[in-house]
Chains A and B, each alone.
Chain A
Amino acid sequence: MAAPIRVLTAVPICDGHDSAINTINLEFIRHGIEVVYLGYHRYATDMVRAAIQEDVKALGISSYNGGHVEFFSEVARLLKKQGADYIKVFGGGGGTITGNDDVIMRRNGIDKIFFAGTSLEDMVDYVHKHYSGPHKPFRGRKASADMQLARKLTEIEDSYAGRKLRPKKRSAKSKKKTGKTRVFGFTGPGGAGKTTLIDELILRLLHREPKSRIAILSHDPSVVGAGALLGDRATMINSQNERVFMRSMATRGQAGGLSPATEDCLTLLAESGFDYVIIETVGTGQEAMPFQTGLVHKTVLVMNPDYGSRLQLQKIVMLDLADIVVVNKSDQERARTASSEIGRRLDQNKRSQILISTVANRHRDAGVDELCDLLTEQNV
């Protein structure tokens, strides 16, 4: 089976009209396309960086409140400037984009504009017809480090697409030296706030270490041969940064929170000279134990105070394995109880596991500061 087509979609800066793109995303996903969604109110530079890092076949832009000729053209110009015009730009804006605009935009390097009244079916057909097939090699020019890394990740991911799911082999590669790179694994149930917590952590890391470079490997669920919405980028506001390399992956049928290709991708990232690599699983169930590789230095389990009864805690395997357990949303009523129940559960393990409380969506939260200290302190 061929690897799914990956596209990136987004809405331009100063534009919050996401109704059309949400509907189109859903339709793409229903038809087997993996959609990395960058969200609304996004700069051209952010779109271009994301498209390159995600190594998508095409970048779809939905614009509604004007200025589209300038905006689309700027995106195409930036892609070309970086030698990344192998990524095609398509989009639409209902009736706001005229035939004349289309002529100018195509001259400026835009591949396709869907006019008002185009059916969802026609859009899906176009994407399947024009953006499928293997990636073309970079042309002549020297590809940037991001481009090369992104392409290698694609090759790894696609190499798994044609095969039956293999049992995970303990890769000899994982013993390779990863130098100064520190790898953190974040897992936990859906809705615990993992993505927000990571984004707040990134903000602090970028600020504390002004030269550091960070990679994020983020996962969203999908089944074999189907599409997926890879939406973590849309809610990450601090990670839209030149010093952050982010890659979104669909699990493509594998249970447990990661993709079949994760380990190899993680190995590559760990060897690529980043200061930190952060890996985020999908929202996991009680039995999940995703980080079995020796590559992850610290594992963080992010919990929601609302996990149900105390008995449920006994069943959560990661509570035995995690180095750090975070009770996020600790401003909720139940948080105090949750912390003490989880604390007692961890005491049973008699390991030096650390429990902290955070409110990731609170500005300058002291709990997130503490997590950042814990993760960056030396000799741990």
Chain B
Amino acid sequence: MSKLGQVVEAVESYNEFVLKEVKRARTDEVFGQQMVDRWNDVKAKTPIGTAPTGLKLPRLALPEIDEAGEITRYLLGEGLPGEFPFTSGAYREMYLEPLRELEAGSYGKDGRNGKNGHSKNGKNGAKAAAPKPAEVEEPTRLFSGLGLAEDTNARFHFLTGHQRSARLSTAFDGPTLYGIDSDAEGVFGKIGEGGLAIDTYEDMVRLYDGFDMGSPAFSASMTISGPAPIIMAMYIAAAKKRFGPKVVPNLRGTIQADIFKEVQAQNETIFPTEASLRFLCDMIEWTTREMPRWYPVSISGYHIGEAGSTPVQQAAYTVSNGFAYAEMLAARGIPVDQFGPRLSFFLDCGLDVEYIALARVSRRIWAIGMRDVFGAGPKAQMFKLHTQTSGRSLVAAEFKNNLTRTAAELMLAYMNGTNSCHSNSADEPFTTPSEEWIRLAAHGQAILLDESGIFKHTMNMLSGSPGMKAVERAVEAAMLEEFRQIEAFGGVLPAIEHRYQRSQIQNAAHRYEQQIYDGTRPIIALTKYNDLKDEMPEVKMVRTPRAKKQLQVDRLAKFKKRNAEKAKRALDKLSDVVERGENCFPTLIEVVEVCSLGQITGRLQEVVGHFRPMV
């Protein structure tokens, strides 16, 4: 049985354990009383805040129950925010306004009890999960990338000018995503389209110019997977050039680097899967040791969802991919409590009903699997989540409706306790967002979190309604069923080789399209209330002018000319390290100082081969 099969058993056995404990609380008076006492204690220690209207509200909302069995079901089955199994949130408090001094109660001193779980090895579950409250920072992340590095840099300054912290999310153009240089034949038209062009680490220096890369108030996320280790090396080289070698341990951010979802859905991979995974693990091994604040892989369902999967498929494939990474990293001998806390997740949020609870279920399954199958401690049990509203759900017809779609999705994402979030711009069906619409997308989150009172006074404001619980149970059962299907192939990798996930996603995508046109899925202004029949709307298109594309090509030529001699030696060294099977990441950090992305990719492909596409 692969680890995934064991996860299925662990979740089933945890669910049975909860039921048994519920029964015990009802029959064993002493135990029942302990649970009631704990419940009363949690309630008593919950601080009270004040809304601007003067209304007093607890910082944590709990169900109105006082019977020992129901209390046990809640504390063990769902858990408090920040406590195993983390159903309602990875942290105790998120999105809340800071408490004013006078109101601060004892909460936080000894408010954590944490004796809420069973554990096969009896070790980890008994420890209190006592994470610090999330740092006060905005969860808003807006994915940006256009033109050349300096253009995206300007967009970053535009977006973060008024924020306390600079949390940059970086999109790359097609050639970069495929590890190809801007001067390669046939790609000129693609330079700087849909994201920015990076050919050398000097572009990376331009990209984050003016930002203090080592500051706690700065973090960067980079959405790239195929050549991720090379891009990560460029990021490190750029930071070192600007701030010296001491900056490295302070670097914060995320690189997507998720090979599994590329092979399953997004198709941006350049080396054979096995080699890609090796380079990825080299990077993770190095960064989890040397850059403890960095998230070196963002296990992503977004692209699976956007490729047309159902929400359950999206979450099931993502979480199972996560367990597959954990299995690989553990097999390398990296301690689970070293790599576990550095794994993060990324899900899509669309309008289907499953999204009411998709992230909640994912968090719960991850926590149980990590604790009971991998023996992970509390920090490695937490499913840290970035969410993006669904691009696929946005349509071109009367595109201003996309503001409403995105607003509804944002609501779902925050109801699910996402740790950070990107809201799509309404002009997404047409173009890389223009400033007008990206501004509205950012404002959408601010209106929800800062202006409205929905999320800023009370944790669990909307958690645990009967409907949400019903969705949760159905989604969990369906996800476990998907796990069993994957397990039947022998685990995630064998299932990938059999095209299992790909064919499931493709079938779901086809059905989705058919449902749009057979009326099962009404799309407003496209298939319903589409009386306006508008012409193509006037949308400002963001495109990269020819002269800029040429500038990028010229800069790259100069870089290559200047480093020609050194590049050859560096690439030979890289080949040797890869052939010898050593961790190649430290060498990559040196190589990027004299070689372009395409030069490095090309050399690595000579050594390990090319990715063979799957259909």
Contacts and interface: CB of A to CB of B under 8 A. Distances in A.
Given A22-B509, A22-B510, A66-B193, A14 B178 contact: yes
A96 to B, nearest CB: 6
Interface string B255-273: 0000000100011100010
Contact of A234 (B174, B432, B613): B613
A270 B397 CA distance: 53
Contacts of B514: 120
Given A116-B395, A234-B615, A19 B430 contact: no
B610 A237 contact: yes
A15 B195 CA distance: 12
Contact of A66 (B190, B262, B506, B509): B190
Contacts of B268: 16
Contacts of B399: 95
Nearest to B512: A23
A66 B506 CA distance: 23
A15 B429 contact: no
Interface stretch (B133-141, B181-189, B231-239): B181-189
Contacts of B608: 363
Contact of B541 (A19, A41, A98, A363): A98
B308 interface: yes
A43 B178 CA distance: 13
Interface in B396-413: 396-397, 399
A99 interface: yes
A14 B536 contact: no
Interface string B343-376: 0000000000000000000000000000000000
A18 B175 CA distance: 17
A41 B193 contact: no
Interface in A161-219: 191, 196, 199
Interface string A52-65: 00000000000011
Contacts of A66: 173-174, 189-190, 193-194, 432, 543
Given A96-B431, A235-B614, A14 B177 contact: yes
A120 B190 contact: no
Contact of B429 (A70, A94, A235, A363): A94
A177 to B, nearest CB: 37
A363 B609 contact: yes
B251 interface: no
A65 B615 CA distance: 19
Nearest to B542: A66
A117 B397 contact: yes
Interface residues of A, number: 50
A198 to B, nearest CB: 12
Nearest to B194: A65
B517 A119 contact: yes
Nearest to A101: B541
A191 B499 CA distance: 10
Contact of B189 (A39, A70, A191): A70
A238 B609 CA distance: 11
A221 B173 CA distance: 38
A95 B539 CA distance: 10
A272 interface: no
Nearest to A102: B536
Contact of A237 (B188, B535, B613): B613
Contact of A19 (B191, B194, B275, B509): B509
Interface string A92-117: 00111011000000000000000111
A184 B397 CA distance: 53
A13 B509 contact: no
B462 interface: no
A87 B468 CA distance: 54
A341 interface: no
B609 A45 contact: no
B278 to A, nearest CB: 12
A360 B68 CA distance: 61
A44 interface: yes
A67 B544 CA distance: 9
Contacts of A27: 510, 513
Contact of B174 (A14, A70, A117): A14
A240 B75 CA distance: 60
A361 interface: yes
A41 to B, nearest CB: 6
Interface string A12-39: 1111111100110011000000000101
B267 A16 contact: yes
16 contacts: A14-B180, A15-B174, A19-B307, A19-B509, A22-B510, A23-B510, A26-B506, A45-B186, A65-B194, A71-B189, A95-B539, A235-B613, A235-B615, A237-B612, A362-B272, A363-B272
Interface of B: 173-175, 177-178, 180, 185-191, 193-195, 262, 266-268, 272, 275, 306-308, 395-397, 399, 429-432, 498, 506, 509-510, 513-514, 517, 526, 535-536, 539, 541, 543, 608-610, 612-615
Interface of A: 12-19, 22-23, 26-27, 37, 39-41, 43-45, 64-71, 74, 94-96, 98-99, 115-117, 119-121, 191, 196, 199, 231, 234-235, 237, 361-364
Closest 7 CB pairs of A and B: A14-B174, A66-B193, A70-B189, A16-B267, A363-B609, A67-B189, A95-B429
